[in-house]
Amino acid sequence: MKKNVLTLLAVLVTFLAANAQVPQGTVLVGAASNLQFSSVSPDGGDNYSDLTLDAKVGYFFVENLAGGLRLRFDKLDDFSTSYVGVFGRYYINGNIITGLSLSSFSMDPGGSFEKSSAMVIGLEGGYAAFLTDNIAIEPTLNLDLFSGDIDQTSFGFNVGFSLYLNR
């Protein structure tokens, strides 16, 4: 048992240490999505679906520092929201992600409700686990601060995939 734990620990340390820096000129293409079907039962169990698509396209201007565009769309039955903005990411040791984004947020609740908009400052921290030199799974913690028609704070966990071209 002790030998298995030590072997697993050695593999993990090798995996984490065997990372390279993300070089200047690399193109980042990332996407995350969640598809959730839920049952709400306060008034008899109405079903609804929730779909989120989040995409990023960026460029590494210098080693480990990327900037680019962020697009996000959420749809919950007739209720929809969208984000359009810019982001910056810095990679510590080539795979620890720290990020900042600034987005314009709009909400269309459908029906007779009013449309709303806000500016969103987003913070993210996470890890880029490279499966190959060009493909990574990226679990991140996200904090979004809304200001405008909507004043709120949102905190969440996200898992996405990113493709690193020209790496």
- The predicted pLDDT at position 123 comes to 96
Q: How far apart (Å, rounded) are the C-alpha atoms in residues 147 and 121?
A: 9
At 39-49, the pLDDT tens digits run 444 455 566 66
Question: Residue 167 to residues 15, 18, 89, 102, 157: CA-CA distances in angstroms?
Answer: 18, 15, 16, 26, 27
CATH number for the segment(s) 2-165: 2.40.160.20
Looking at per-residue pLDDT, the higher value among 8 and 58 belongs to 58
| Residue labelled with tokens 């980042």 | 28
Residue boundaries of the structural domains of the chain:
2-165
Q: Where are the beta strands (DSSP E) in the chain?
A: 27-40, 46-62, 65-76, 79-92, 96-108, 116-127, 129-130, 135-148, 152-165
- pLDDT(37) > 90: no
At 62-117, the pLDDT tens digits run 999 999 999 988 877 777 889 899 999 999 999 999 999 999 989 877 666 678 89
Model pTM above 0.85: no
- pLDDT(27) > 50: yes
Structure tokens belonging to residue 122: 């987003």
- pLDDT(15) > 60: no
- The predicted pLDDT at position 32 comes to 81
